Amino acid sequence: MTCEEVRNNLPLFLYGELSFDAEDQLESHLDECELCRSDLARERTLHAAFDHAELTVTSDALRASRQEFQSRLSASAKGHDSFWGNLREMFTVKFHMPSVAQPIGALALVAMGFFGARFVPAGALGGFVSAGVADPIASRVRYVEPEASGRIQIVVEETRQRTLTGNMGDERIQRLLLTAAKDPADPGLRVESMDLLKSRPEMADVRSALLYALRHDANAGVRLKALEGLKGSAGDPEVRQTLSQVLLADKNPGVRTQVIDLLIQQKEQPQMVGVLQELMRKEDNGYVRMRCQKALHDMKASVESF
Q: Which of 78, 175, 216, 281 binds another protein (CB under 8 A)?
A: 216
Are the CB atoms for 254 and 110 separated by under 8 Å? yes
Q: Which residue from 296, 259, 249 is spatially nearest to 276, judged by alpha carbons?
A: 296
Nearest approach in angstroms of CB 189 to another protein is 11
Return the residue of 2, 3, 5, 8 that touches another protein, per CB under 8 A: 8
Pick one of 21, 31, 145, 304: the residue that binds another protein (CB under 8 A).
145
Helix (H) or strand (E) holding 154: strand 152-160
Residue 33's alpha-carbon distances to 14, 30, 40, 41, in angstroms, are: 18, 5, 11, 13
Q: Is residue 83 at the binding interface for another protein, with CB under 8 A as the rule?
A: no
Q: Which of 2, 38, 66, 107 binds another protein (CB under 8 A)?
A: 66
CB of 57 to another protein, least distance (A): 5
* Number of chain positions touching another protein (CB under 8 A): 43
Options 20, 119, 143, 306; binder of another protein; rule CB under 8 A: 143
34, amino acid identity: E
Cα 63 to its chain centre, rounded Å, is: 24
Which one of 2, 28, 38, 65 is in contact with another protein (CB under 8 A)? 65
Interface positions, 119-138, toward another protein (CB under 8 A): 125-126, 128
Q: How distant, in Å, are the alpha carbons of 67, 129, 190, 260 from that of 243?
A: 34, 36, 20, 9
| 249-288 residues near another protein, rule: CB under 8 A | none
Among 33, 97, 138, 185, which residue interacts with another protein (rule: CB under 8 A)? Answer: 185
Phi and psi at 150, nearest 5°, equal 100, -15
Q: Of the candidates 15, 10, 14, 18, which has an alpha carbon nearest to the alpha carbon of residue 35?
A: 10
Q: Which of 228, 218, 230, 222 is nearest to 193 (CA)?
A: 222
Is 51 an interacting residue with respect to another protein (CB under 8 A)?
A: yes
**235 binds another protein per the rule CB under 8 A:** no
R_g of the chain, CA atoms, integer Å: 31
Give residues in contact with another protein (CB under 8 A): 8, 11-12, 15, 17, 42-43, 45-46, 49-58, 61-62, 64-66, 68-69, 72-73, 76, 125-126, 128, 142-143, 145, 157, 179, 182-185, 212, 216
